[in-house]
Amino acid sequence: MIHSLFLINCSGDIFLEKHWKSVVSQSVCDYFFEAQEKAADVENVPPVISTPHHYLISIYRDKLFFVSVIQTEVPPLFVIEFLHRVADTFQDYFGECSEAAIKDNVVIVYELLEEMLDNGFPLATESNILKELIKPPTILRSVVNSITGSSNVGDTLPTGQLSNIPWRRAGVKYTNNEAYFDVVEEIDAIIDKSGSTVFAEIQGVIDACIKLSGMPDLSLSFMNPRLLDDVSFHPCIRFKRWESERVLSFIPPDGNFRLISYRVSSQNLVAIPVYVKHSISFKENSSCGRFDITIGPKQNMGKTIEGITVTVHMPKVVLNMNLTPTQGSYTFDPVTKVLAWDVGKITPQKLPSLKGLVNLQSGAPKPEENPNLNIQFKIQQLAISGLKVNRLDMYGEKYKPFKGVKYVTKAGKFQVRT
């Protein structure tokens, strides 16, 4: 199945490689670099690239490319899911999935990859099993290992590996028993010139942080579970219970994990929280143009929209921009032609705007089309789809845990056409 794995940074350097079956030359990555050059953006690199003798399947996470080399037919989503598991494991072990963190812990990285794949097939991918097999790095453990020459690999087989609940280890004990859930939703939308919605969709996840003693059995119910489409579950969830009652019933893993991910694709259920008034004009045979945008809250949901940034890829003929923001600050890079306006919070009493002149190359033809506005924002304590957790019940243990739910809405790929 998976023959090799290459980790590539944004500069195109292969800084780590691992081979399971046979050594595959780094030159196979040239096909990946060609596809990367053709793609306008890093996120547009094709996830599956066919070469004469191999398939390259890749993901992009935290400014790193994880590129796997396959020699036989295999379901691509299976490999993509495994690569995300690898990135999640690095995040869990080192606190971040960055080039520096991986280089600092290169021995543990190779030990993890050796346990996660056996002869190219996934073996142990659950975080709690891996932590029993390979101890997470600490300063003291690193010092002891360097003096004694010992490794982080444990001596005994994890208890969860042999049970029918491989995601949870036995004998978990906590002084404070807590269960927290984060409902995080991202809005992907395209808004046309007139302000009408061309496309809108919500991508949502429920992330859990469970620190409960023993072997608890949890049931999580929602006020309106019929909203959810294309639900993807953690293996711990009993699917038949969800199908019949729309209730999430599960014995949870210990620690942080993604419980479900889902989609809300019905456009009439997707509320667009911001609107943009824009006037961008370039005059024929003139070396200047006008730029004027105002942003405001659309739905009065009683929640503050914060962390707003507007990014605009201006046409190549633009030399510079002299703008005045009523709120926040802006930067314009004359090389990449990218305008970035950091707005911050919106207060409905005074709507933020950015106005001014655009300097163009003299004699250059007028740009054929106006640029698109890419918007980022965040709304705390709100799930824009209207999804609400009803209650969390626990069976199998006698203590009362502390429970909490947090809601966050963010912009995903949110574009306004001008």
Higher pLDDT: 140 or 325? It is 325
Helix ranges (H only) for 105-155 are 106-116, 127-133, 139-148
CA distance 172 to 199: 46
pLDDT in tens, 402-417: 999 999 999 999 999 9
**Number of residues in the chain:** 418
- The H or E element containing residue 50 is strand 48-50
Residue ranges of domains in the chain, CATH in brackets: 1-146 (3.30.450.60), 176-268+383-414 (2.60.40.1170), 272-378 (2.60.40.1170)
pLDDT in tens, 345-376: 988 788 999 999 998 888 778 888 889 999 99
Instruction: Tell which residue, 279, 336, 280, 298, has the closest CA to residue 414.
Output: 298
Percent helix, strand, coil in the chain, to 5, is 20, 45, 35
Residue 326 has pLDDT above 90, yes or no: yes
Q: Are 351 and 293 spatial neighbours (Cβ–Cβ below 8 Å)? A: no
- Residue 41 DSSP SS3: coil
Angle at Cα 183 formed by Cα 182 and Cα 186, nearest 5°? 125
Q: Are 151 and 376 spatial neighbours (Cβ–Cβ below 8 Å)? A: no
pLDDT in tens, 251-279: 999 888 899 999 988 766 788 899 999 99
Chain position carrying tokens 């796997």? 68
- Locate 384 and state its tokens: 């824009």
Instruction: Tell which residue, 389, 385, 377, has the closest CA to residue 181.
Output: 389
Crossing angle (nearest 10°) for helices 76-94 and 106-116? 140
- What average pLDDT does this structure show over 326-349? 90
